Amino acid sequence: MASGFFALLDDIASLMDDVVVMSKISTKKTAGILGDDLAVNAEKATGFLASRELPVLWAITKGSALNKLIILPIAFLLSAFAPWGVTLALILGGVYLAFEGFEKVYHFLVPHKHEDAEINHSEDDVVLSEEELAIAEKMKVKSAIFTDFILSVEIVIIALGTVIGKPILFQILVVSVVAIVATIGVYGIVALIVRMDDFGLKLVSLNDNKKSISHIVGNLLIRTLPWVIKSLSVVGTIALLLVAGGIFVHNIEFLHHFLEALPSFIRDFIVGLIIGLLAFLLLKIFIFIKKKFSNDE
């Protein structure tokens, strides 16, 4: 009886060792998409009042965790019974990411006459009422969680691809570990980014000597944050188009050999931009036709 119990423990230990090894491999495989996920979500999580940054980030993190709880069982079922559904989900998600990326580029090149009021203003500004700020905040959180859902699908599918053919329990453990690491890692780093200035202020307050290391590093963090936030918008947009382009290139046979002479990241960006343009035009045409019918009625 005892020997059987210890044998079971040995099997569990062996299984967990294998899970840890494969989790490391899977995480390395998803490193690229995790970097893009970080850039996109860091950009989405910035631009709020300082007092609301962490609560908003926590709301997005909870939404991200819920996304993965929804995605994981569906991914396992599709992988087992309808592999084509995995590809379809990736492509539909790619269209959305490409559209969002192109829309950002379009709005930068052709700014609206009446841009929506920004949330990132100081506490003394009275541009928006508290109710309007709350509505704008909820909309941005929803947008961030939805984008995270698409990126999470890609992360889960890539991780799942590294353990295809393994027992289902092994697949569940490995992919779940990757999903947890992705959520905690990405949003943990995002939290550090959005609180850079507060950390800088604390370092400055440690020492009155302006030539001290804490004072110099603190001021550097405070001055760097606005540049980091601005750059995140650019990096996040590029990441959206790269991820979208990569999804299409890797999952559509016709695009495997498209612009093969170019470096893969440039090809992915171009494909993402083209798909985003097409999606953007289709949406504009749909809106135009809808308005036309509404006016005729």
Is 13 inside any structural domain?
no
**How does 169-197 read in b/e, with b if 16+ C-beta sit within 10 Å?**
eebbbbbbbbbebbbeebbeebbebbbbb
Is 14 inside any structural domain?
no
Yes or no: say if 251 and 277 are a contact pair by the CB < 8 Å rule.
Answer: no
Burial class from Cβ neighbours inside 10 Å (0-12, 13-18, 19+) for residue 286 reads: exposed
Count: domains in the chain: 1
**Predicted local distance difference test score (pLDDT) of residue 250:** 80
**Predicted local distance difference test score (pLDDT) of residue 196:** 78
Residue 111: Cβ within 10 Å count: 9
Is 113 inside any structural domain?
yes
Between CA 290 and CA 82, with CA 142 as vertex, the angle to 5 degrees is 80
Is 36 inside any structural domain?
yes
Yes or no: say if 272 and 242 are a contact pair by the CB < 8 Å rule.
Answer: yes
For residue 204, the enclosing domain spans 26-296
Query: Tens-of-pLDDT digits for all 297 residues of the chain?
Result: 445 544 444 444 554 555 555 555 555 545 555 665 666 666 666 666 666 777 888 888 888 889 889 988 888 888 778 877 777 877 888 888 889 889 888 888 887 654 444 444 444 444 556 777 778 778 888 888 888 887 788 788 777 767 766 777 777 888 888 888 888 887 888 787 777 777 888 888 887 777 778 878 888 887 887 787 777 777 778 877 888 888 888 878 788 778 777 888 899 899 999 999 999 999 999 988 888 887 766
**Predicted local distance difference test score (pLDDT) of residue 280:** 93
- Reference 41, options 145, 155, 175, 116; nearest CA is 145
Is 273 inside any structural domain?
yes
Yes or no: say if 122 and 189 are a contact pair by the CB < 8 Å rule.
Answer: no
Is 57 inside any structural domain?
yes
CA-to-CA distance for 176 and 173, rounded, in angstroms?
5
The residue behind tokens 């009446």 is 114
Is 17 inside any structural domain?
no
CA-to-CA distance for 125 and 127, rounded, in angstroms?
6
The residue behind tokens 């990405």 is 186
DSSP string, the chain: -HHHHHHHHHHHHHHHHHHHHHHHHHHHHTHHHHHHHHHHHHHHT-SS-GGGHHHHHHHHHHHHHHHHHHHHHHHHHHHHH-HHHHHHHHHHHHHHHHHHHHHHHHHHHS--SSPPPPS---TT--SS-HHHHHHHHHHHHHHHHHHHHHHHHHHHHHHHHTTTTS-HHHHHHHHHHHHHHHHHHHHHHHHHHHTHHHHHHHHHHT-S-TTSHHHHHHHHHHHHHHHHHHHHHHHHHHHHHHHHHHHHHHH-GGGGGTTTTS-HHHHHHHHHHHHHHHHHHHHHHHHHHHHHHHHH-
**Predicted local distance difference test score (pLDDT) of residue 14:** 53
CA-to-CA distance for 245 and 228, rounded, in angstroms?
25
Is 16 inside any structural domain?
no
